[in-house]
Each structure stands twice: as structure tokens, then as C-alpha cells.
A and B are shown apart, each in its own frame.
Chain A
Amino acid sequence: MIAEMNDDDPVFRALADPTRRHLLDRLFERDGRTLTELESELEMTRFGVMKHLRVLEDAGLVVTRRAGREKLHFLNPVPIRLTHDRWIDKYTERQVSRSPTSRQSWRRLHDNHDRTDDAGLFRLHPRHA
């Protein structure tokens, strides 16, 4: 049930399917949705959609919550952030290290701009930006 935490396989596997990426996009627009709602937007059987949601849930990309009798599906972006930290930052920063600007000073610039905003906890990171 639990995705191996230091193992990115479940995340990459979950993302390697157009239907599952489509489901994530639908949840990005608006989450907290039921299986019935999600199913109505896809030309697929209920069982098929359930199977895809299960893969997304096992990868931690979708989190479900009970609300009364309904099971609601929420998009959880944290595994994407962690995968980004591990796989994207590493390779994109290598280009920077080759440039005349030293990696250190660029890193500080990037950190100041993107991560540590003393004036506000969250204001630089709206999900829709």
C-alpha cells in the first residue's frame, strides 16, 4: 500500500500514462471530487478509472478523504515536488555551473528568490501561478 519513500518508481510509473496525467489535470483544476464526478469526464468504465486512481493513490499523488458517505479525491503535489528536487534541479543546475556566474552566487540568488522569503511564508508560491 505504501509507496516506497525513497523510491521514485511509483511516481514515475503513475505519471507514465496519459489517462492518469489527465486525471491529475482534472484534479488540479478542482479537487475534492468523487469517483462518479471523475468518471463522468472520461470515456472509461468505473472500474478502469478506479484502477488508475489506485495507482495514483499508491504513488501518493492522490489522497482520499471521507466526507460523510462520499470518498473525495485530492491532488497531493508533494511527491512531484520531491521528484523535482531529486531529478530536475540536479540536472538543470549543471548548466548553471558551467556559466561564468559561479554556482554559489547563483544558488543564493535562486534561494532568495524562490525559497526563503522572509516577508511571507507562502506568498511566492501560489499553486496557480
Chain B
Amino acid sequence: MTTMTEQTTQVYSVFIRATPDQVWDAITKPEFTERYFYGSVIDSTFEPGAPYLGWSSDRKQQFVDGEVLESDPPRLLRHTWRALYDEETAAEQPSRVTWEIEPQDGGVTKLTVVHDQLEASPKTALNVAGGWMYVLSGLKTLLETGEPLVSA
């Protein structure tokens, strides 16, 4: 049996049959994020310096607090990340999430999520490991089939 320590840089990647613009929309438009991002509504203007917020579907509870660091549609989005849904992660330093969108041959787009600067946030590091795997597989399924991975 293996155990693992918290990873201070985590990388997740998926190939999606969609255009870079479609992938950009899926990660920035709340009507999409709600369907694969654990029901969360992402709320931001995606301008550098703007808040990057994640809300529950009913918009009553804030899950994620962050700030847009870099935005280059449809190629790159970078923002800070502090998870508010857990007291322990909310108390930690903000970490950083980078979405990289790269067109490939054959109508395929590669989406890579790098979650780093987790050195001061070990609870967050453990908390998100695995979570991104569901987010990316759900995003791929939604874009390729038009259906969320799990129907309610």
C-alpha cells in the first residue's frame, strides 16, 4: 500500500474533441461550469486583477475566492485559489491555478491544469488532488457529448 505526501505542484491534462474557443467558454461561462465543476458557478470578468469567484448553484454560498492573474483567451487563464468550503483550506495561503489550452491536430484541444504554489497550503494540496481529475473528465464529457457526466 502506498501513501502520498501533498504535492506542491499538481498537473492534470486531458484531450478534448473541441476547439480552443469552446474549451475557453467551458471554463469561463457559469452556465457551463455549473454542469461539471461540482455544481459551482464561476463568476469573473476574467480581466487581470478581477476577482475569480466560485459560488454554489443557488449563489448563496461562496466556494472559491481568487484573483485573475493572467488572461489570454483562448490560450491561458491564471488565477489564485483559496477554497472557502472547508475551514482548514480557507485559513491557508492562496495557491495558484493555471489553465493552458493548446490546439492539436485533428480538431483536438489539449487542456492542462497546473495547480501550484501550494507549499504553504498542505490541506488545500490534499483537498484538490483528485478533485481536478473529476473536473477535467466531466468537462471533456460535457463538451464531447453535451451531457454532464452525471445527470441529476
Residues of A bordering B, CB below 8 Å: 2-3, 5-6, 25, 28-32, 60, 63, 65, 72, 74, 76-79, 81-82, 85, 111, 115-123, 125-129
Contact = CB atoms under 8 A, between A and B. Distances in A.
A32 B137 contact: no
Given A76-B11, A78-B12, A120-B85, 10 more contacts: A2-B110, A5-B16, A63-B13, A74-B9, A120-B38, A121-B64, A127-B4, A127-B129, A128-B126, A129-B130
A126 B7 contact: no
B12 A77 contact: yes
State the majority secondary structure of interface residues on A: loop
Contacts of A65: 9, 11, 114
A29 B4 contact: yes
Given A74-B9, A81-B137, A121 B63 contact: yes
Contact of B131 (A76, A118, A122): A122
Contact of A5 (B15, B39, B64): B15
A66 B128 CA distance: 22
B91 interface: no
Given A65-B114, A127-B129, A121 B137 contact: no
Contact of A63 (B2, B8, B38, B112): B112
B81 to A, nearest CB: 10
Interface of B: 2-5, 7-17, 37-40, 54, 56-57, 63-64, 83, 85-86, 104-106, 108, 110, 112, 114, 126-134, 136-137, 140-141, 149-150, 152
A125 B137 CA distance: 14
A120 B95 CA distance: 17
Contacts of A6: 17
Nearest to B54: A121
B133 A126 contact: no
Contact of B13 (A32, A72, A78, A119): A78
Contacts of B106: 2
A116 B11 contact: no
The 10 closest A-B CB pairs, nearest first, are A122-B131, A127-B129, A127-B130, A120-B85, A74-B11, A125-B130, A121-B38, A81-B137, A5-B15, A78-B14
B92 to A, nearest CB: 14
B128 A122 contact: yes
A73 to B, nearest CB: 9
A122 B57 contact: no
